[in-house]
Amino acid sequence: MKTLDDKTIAAIRSHVESKKVTLGDGTVVPQLGQGTWFMGENPRVKEQEIQALQLGIELGMTLIDTAEMYGEGGAELLVGEAIKGLRDNVFLVSKVYPHNSGLSSIAHACEQSLQHLGTDRLDLYLLHWRGGIPLEETINGMEQLKKEGKILRWGVSNLDTADMEELVSAPQGKNCVTNQVLYHLGSRGIEFDLLPWQREQNMPIMAYCPLAQGGTLRKQIMTNSTINEIAKAHHVKPLQIALAWALRTNDVIAIPKAVQQEHVIENATAASIQLTQVDLDKLDQVFPKPRKKTHLDIV
Ligand code: NDP
């Protein structure tokens, strides 16, 4: 296992910490966090996963995204172990299944998540995707959890523009602080309308799959000659360029998931990459912006 010296850790962390995003309610959070999908499912890699999250925290990636769905509580339990003694250093995000997002079920689901995570509050609770329960009912449930101090704020995930418009026009719907959606260099559909609409609302996007695990074009991102050239010029790897691209503005949070230590370090290091306008223009040519409305990418 590679060990980083204190000076290197401090240097990487200072770049990560320099990148912040302001949520819809004014809360400032790290722009670069960590995902946890598929963690907590295999006991043989449990220690490696815990160490990866802890290294990520040490490197400044203190926003951690999880969900009751991941490993059916397994990922939350793992995160709970990883953040033991570190709770106050972390901005903790979890998600409720749509079928648990009704008034009678959300309190229980949240309580379960809190127990798994070994904490008394979530910093952010998201509706994982829209299901059959009316958005108004979920909003009421979220607001009730806020009143009880179980969650500090709430948001949604996988909602496209029409759903978001409906959400914010419901009573207290404007209290939604973010929408977590699939977004990466190869999946830019949200730039057509959802991203500009959220910008108007001062509601940042939380980009999942920023390393293109889902959506399209991961292979192209890794093999494309332009991105390889840009990576070479910055002395980094193509996926680090993809991550730096996701971080190019100050209103998109990115939550890459990494278990391999090398990946955690590469991801944190992406915060120090300064893409030039020329780099961005070249990337636009190879991975163009959308010219028309497309369905929201999901995994
Ligand atoms: P990512 O795009 O983050 O990719 C994760 C994959 O990339 C893993 O296989 C990981 O490998 C690998 N990887 C990580 N860093 C590097 C690197 N530097 N170089 C090469 N490979 C790397 O995909 P995810 O689907 O995990 O998305 C991120 C997070 O977003 C999830 O973990 C989850 O928290 C959230 N999410 C939310 C969804 C939603 O519906 N709201 C849907 C999907 C994800 P390894 O682990 O072996 O290091």
Q: What residue ranges do the domains of the chain occupy?
A: 6-286
Calculate the average pLDDT of the chain. Answer: 96
287 CA → ligand 1 middle, Å: 20
Ligand 1 lining (C-beta closer than 6 Å): 35-37, 65, 128, 157-158, 180, 208-214, 239, 255-260, 263, 266-267, 299
Q: How far apart are CA 174 and CA 36, in angstroms?
A: 28
Q: How far apart are CA 60 and CA 114, in angstroms?
A: 23
- The torsion region of residue 215 among left (phi > 0), alpha (psi -120 to 50) and beta comes to left
Per-residue model confidence (pLDDT) at position 90: 98
Q: Which of 63, 25, 29, 31 is nearest to 202 (CA)?
A: 25
* pTM exceeds 0.95, yes or no: yes
166 CA → ligand 1 middle, Å: 30
> Which of 1, 12, 37 should be mutated for ligand 1, with most atoms under 8 A from CB?
37
| Ligand 1 nearest atom to the CA of residue 184, by list position | 2
Per-residue model confidence (pLDDT) at position 6: 96
Per-residue model confidence (pLDDT) at position 284: 97
Largest CA distance in the chain: 55
Question: Nearest C-alpha to atom 37 of ligand 1 is from which residue?
Answer: 208
Distance of CA 138 to the CA centre of its chain: 21
| Ligand 1 nearest atom to the CA of residue 128, by list position | 41
User: What CATH number matches the domain at 6-286, 3.40.50.11750, 3.90.1150.200, 2.60.120.460, 3.20.20.100?
Assistant: 3.20.20.100
| Ligand 1 nearest atom to the CA of residue 218, by list position | 2
217 CA → ligand 1 middle, Å: 14
295 CA → ligand 1 middle, Å: 21
Cα 245 to Cα 147, 220, 256, distances in angstroms? 37, 15, 13
| Ligand 1 nearest atom to the CA of residue 212, by list position | 2
54 CA → ligand 1 middle, Å: 16
| Ligand 1 nearest atom to the CA of residue 52, by list position | 48
Stretch (H or E) spanning 137: helix 135-147
> Which of 184, 209, 240, 265 should be mutated for ligand 1, with most atoms under 8 A from CB?
209
> Which of 44, 117, 185, 211 should be mutated for ligand 1, with most atoms under 8 A from CB?
211
Residues of the chain with pLDDT under 50: none
| Ligand 1 nearest atom to the CA of residue 65, by list position | 34
